[in-house]
Amino acid sequence: MISVQDGQNQILRQLPEPTSPEIVAVTRARERVLAEDLHAPFDVPPTDNSAVDGYAVASDDVPTGRTRELDVVAELAAGAVFDGAVAPGQAVRIMTGAPMPRGADTVYPQEVVERRGDRLGVGPIPKGANVRKRGEDVQAGTIAIERGTVLRAQELGLITSLGQWQVLVHRRPRVALLSTGDEVIEPGTPRKAGQIYDANRFTLRGSIEQCGGEVIDLGIVADVRDELRARLLEGAGVGDIVVTSGGVSVGVLDLVKDVLDEIGAIDFWQVAMQPGRPLAFGRVGSAHFFGLPGNPVASMLAFMLFVRPAIYKLAGRRRLFPDTAEATATEAMSKKKGRREFKRGIVQWTNGRWEARTTGPQGSGILSSMAAGNCLIVLEEDRGDVAVGETVLVEPF
Ligand code: AMP
Ligand code: MG
């Protein structure tokens, strides 16, 4: 038996370099991973500018505690630049975002002034009010976004605010995927007694896509040595990673291990976890190989624990593991010491705290428990049964 963490560490040690970078348009870069530090070539905003629609003035020109009359000498539209300077006794009409005119350091919001023709009545105002400073968003020369960051909507806008419309990202890791088992058949085809429809290939496909991988679907392979060998070699030719489900438990027809011994290198692990104990990890050709268990919950969980961080690492991500949070158990949970258990749970904010309960029956074949849940409840190795009111770790889906 090895622990979940030892397994993760061993896997990550085998995956040295992220995939090569490629340039993509920002419009196609969402959820991709930045492959270089993005330096700001200039300050954003590039000049001091107005935070409101109003009137730019030189604040020294407005004595404290007094009102004063100013002359409005110009009207600046958004994007317009005032080529003169604001002199004592003067104000310039300015729009949100317009560069501050020379001589002005403060902006009156239009709601607080009294305008009569070209005259403006104003009261005292703190110096610098309603001005956004040059570089307050991003300073020239600093790193605006670190390499390894997953680009979300906000990063995309930050990149284009620096004038860039293309960005260097890592190539998506390619993951060749297949299901094994004589009994497993394609959805949409008629089912005979004893057969089951393939669930894992679709759970895993979705999981691969969710974590930024590109799926190469190699279908279902029967438990026939030559077919499995051929399909694995095909997968190794096209994928950075090859993932199979089924065929890694110790039944007679569990061929994955035999075939991998022949055409690659394989470690066969019993991981101290529940569900999903058996896991195969190794290589076929130049690809990394993961043989996940056949039971649908076990295969998805093993994917989350072992394949996802590997894809993340290949994709060049800085963060490989998800955030966890603490919640109060509202249900007693059975737990065996010495292994890490993962219950499918529902966590919600109730009574001013995060509360967690399981989704019900927790068998490793009960895929609906994953669908009903919004988190994993993670019970650590050294922990025994959980009583109502105890704190548990949750990992939101
Ligand atoms: P195995 O590890 O091949 O012995 O499979 C363990 C259990 O998972 C068996 O009940 C299989 O029928 C089931 N199973 C294997 N592959 C799949 C699949 N792709 N979709 C749904 N269930 C599967
Ligand atoms: Mg099987």
pLDDT at position 76? 86
Give the pair of three-digit tokens for residue 181.
Answer: 């088992």
Atom of ligand 1 nearest to the CA of 247: 3
- Residue bearing the bigger pLDDT, 16 or 350: 350
Length of the chain: 397
**Site to substitute for ligand 1 among 180, 191, 196, 250, most atoms within 8 A of C-beta:** 196
Mean of the pLDDT values across residues 197-219? 98
Ligand nearest to the CA of 367: 1
b/e burial code for range 131-146 (CB count within 10 A of at least 16 → b): bbebbeebeeeeebbe
**240 — pLDDT class (breaks 50, 70, 90):** very high
Same domain, 94 and 206: no
Nearest to 380 by CA among 324, 331, 330, 306: 324
Q: How many CB atoms lie within 10 A of CB 1?
A: 11
Same domain, 333 and 295: no
Residue 137 falls inside a structural domain? no
pLDDT at position 77? 82
Given a cut of 80, is residue 12 above it in pLDDT? yes
Is residue 276 lining ligand 1, measured as CB closer than 6 Å?
no
Given a cut of 80, is residue 250 above it in pLDDT? no
**Site to substitute for ligand 1 among 178, 195, 200, most atoms within 8 A of C-beta:** 200
Asked which of 314, 346, 370 is the last residue of a domain, the reply is: 314
Is residue 198 lining ligand 1, measured as CB closer than 6 Å?
yes
pTM of the model: 0.92
Ligand nearest to the CA of 183: 1
Count of domains in the chain? Answer: 4
Same domain, 118 and 245: no
Among 49-53, 171-175, 265-269, 341-345, whose mean pLDDT is lowest? 265-269
Same domain, 337 and 386: yes
Given a cut of 70, is residue 97 above it in pLDDT? yes
Residue 276 falls inside a structural domain? yes
Is residue 275 lining ligand 1, measured as CB closer than 6 Å?
no
Residue 319 falls inside a structural domain? no
In this structure, the strands spanning 119-122 and 114-116 are antiparallel
Compute the distance between CA of residue 263 and CA of residue 260 in angstroms, rounded to an integer.
Answer: 5
What is the extent of the structural domain holding 354? 325-396
Q: What is the average pLDDT value for the chain, to the nearest integer?
A: 94
Given a cut of 80, is residue 61 above it in pLDDT? no
Nearest to 232 by CA among 277, 276, 262: 262
Q: What is the Cα Rg of the chain in Å?
A: 30
Same domain, 165 and 220: no
Atom of ligand 1 nearest to the CA of 199: 20
Q: pLDDT of 167-201, one tens digit each?
A: 999 999 999 999 999 999 999 999 999 999 999 99
Compute the distance between CA of residue 239 and CA of residue 205 in angstroms, rounded to an integer.
Answer: 14
